[in-house]
Chains A and B, each alone.
Chain A
């Protein structure tokens, strides 16, 4: 696989995983509620997912093990099974939210009723994963999601307060509701650390047969560049929300509100680019989550797996990702608000996160597995620092959800 295609693996994982329906609405809500106060959270989250993703990629390259293979081995069957169930629950919720998000964006684009569009969204996603080879999934959804750069353009056009933006890089509370500040901080960190991104990324690395030293460098570049771009897009959404919504007292409760933020400075072209960018990014995230769910099951139970294979070459893996889409369809068609489901999935994924992070941290630092490529001083320091951060936010997430009424006060 050429270098360009390999980097696009990271771009897909980054765009689809970093900027999914949860990130779009959460960053817009944080910007509209708190202005620039949580820019630092996006940066801290981005560095964290770079660390996590780089370790996963390195483990895939050197030890040839994807995440759930390592989870079972290092945590044992008992804890590993609990981790699997928790992760699959979160994957299923996230997939449902993304499928619903795709239907919502299709509605904004075409104006047709919502419920039939849920079926259209399901069909498009099933057909894409069934027929498109892995590289084409990356190209179509990864690069399509890059249209979200329109928010960066909109942010520049709105002539943001750069002083306030810079001040936002330093954690500070400037609101009468510190609990709401904490809720959004945990939400943004949780949304950037969605683990399905790394399940997908590490499995792709094993499928692709990464070998050192070339692919190790590529892994680092992909992790850094991909998630850095994702962070820029997330901050752009926060900026447009801060500049447009705070002065007018608008609380973004819909994806359409975020699209309006691109339309206001950039007109119809901005609106269409924003909607198309959202369509590809959210679709990419839906595909990521369904495949991640299938990878997890297959790797934990030892089934054949792989998106490079035709569907018949990995039958139970195929049935599993299709089942994730099917379950997502049933959840969304029942009438549950996809944005509500997203907020819950972000919170619950934060709770389960330490269980998948710890085995990777241990293996990445273990020279029995990694030889000379075990965590160096920087990776080790960052890895353990982020473990502390992850444990803190995992303990705080549910209480904050309840105490702040999901950020509404």
Chain B
């Protein structure tokens, strides 16, 4: 790796990034250094690791607070692995019936599965067991949340554009796997709440035409709840899915290294360079320290805030249920989708039952997720831009993408809110029918409103940026000129400050032209329509000529 930089002219004129130098003087090695040298030599002669260190040791990472979100996801995953391993030492993934004889009095003598009993033992018998359970659960909640936020960051800044579309897909797969991990883990204690969650899954699976009944039969080993689902989910939860996740994280990070990290626009930063701190030592210290901070935050929350108190729910029993219970937050959107279906969506055709009340949510949610997954390819096709993009865009500078993303967020948020419709109704003293109807309407209205509002806000912000870039800030200082004219003094931006406002790419709508055979293919027509829709309203970056003419007019 080469480090290019402007040379420092003199210590007082310390301009920008600098060449890294090793200007240590030769010191005779002491015992510690001799040991380090011996160790490094030993490893390198057996692994050739020095090449990797040379390649990666001083790799540059750009800095921005939003780049931290992916790190949060990675580190909370590590916390999950550590705490989860501890839990496996005590947990029994068995649905064999036992009678609870542990120290928790309210459940004493009650029949439950070994899974539930061992979870109670972890909570009440093992020192630090409850802490680790709560660390594991809170870390899982944070894991999915940080993946979601990380995806939103990547989406709204256009960091998914070429050459990173594949890494977007890998990340998307991990998002799905993270939810799968969450749900399988949530089901393991075999308590009343998770059992009802499984009951809903069973009902949904049974709603799938033709294969549904048999699929449910295989998952539960016969009829629901059966005695095998906890063991099966345990294998998925601690073996199969984590293995895929670890592999996917590996590929995700390798691609991150290959593509190098994106960076926000700034003076000196271009599409052809990376400006930031080197892995050794600054990034390693910051990121390593950050891991400990994430771990610390999760531990502190786990030490002070109860999560998933299964002893209050009791063991699974198909008969009781309590009102107002909620799944873990990331399942909410799916549960909300189930709630929003209007009455009567079930057909009987040719002697078979077609449960549209389950099928429609089962189709809408994957369609939404598929739209998220393929968006980078769609946008790339519409712009036709095949260049590599390493500069992240400010959301305002891609108004249509920001608007589409906002609509998607609104859609998800409405589904999510729907999962709490009963709580909304009881807390605000509304009827459940009214709340449900309002959310049903919002599911269609909110994305449209979010779309237009976000789009207008982006255009407005772009206009303001343009105004400031051309004319500077208003200072509220009114000056009377000798001729009697009053003007307000504007404070111009420095070149550095201005650069951030003007460094972006604008796209024009696609012009339809016949191809070599004199035809306009349908795909091109579709593309032109989409392109027109995307880029009809646009603000172009300030040009040199505009700046000059603005300055000629006296800066106002």
Chain A partners chain B: no
On B, residues with C-beta under 8 Å from A are none
- Residues of A whose CB lies within 8 Å of any CB of B are none
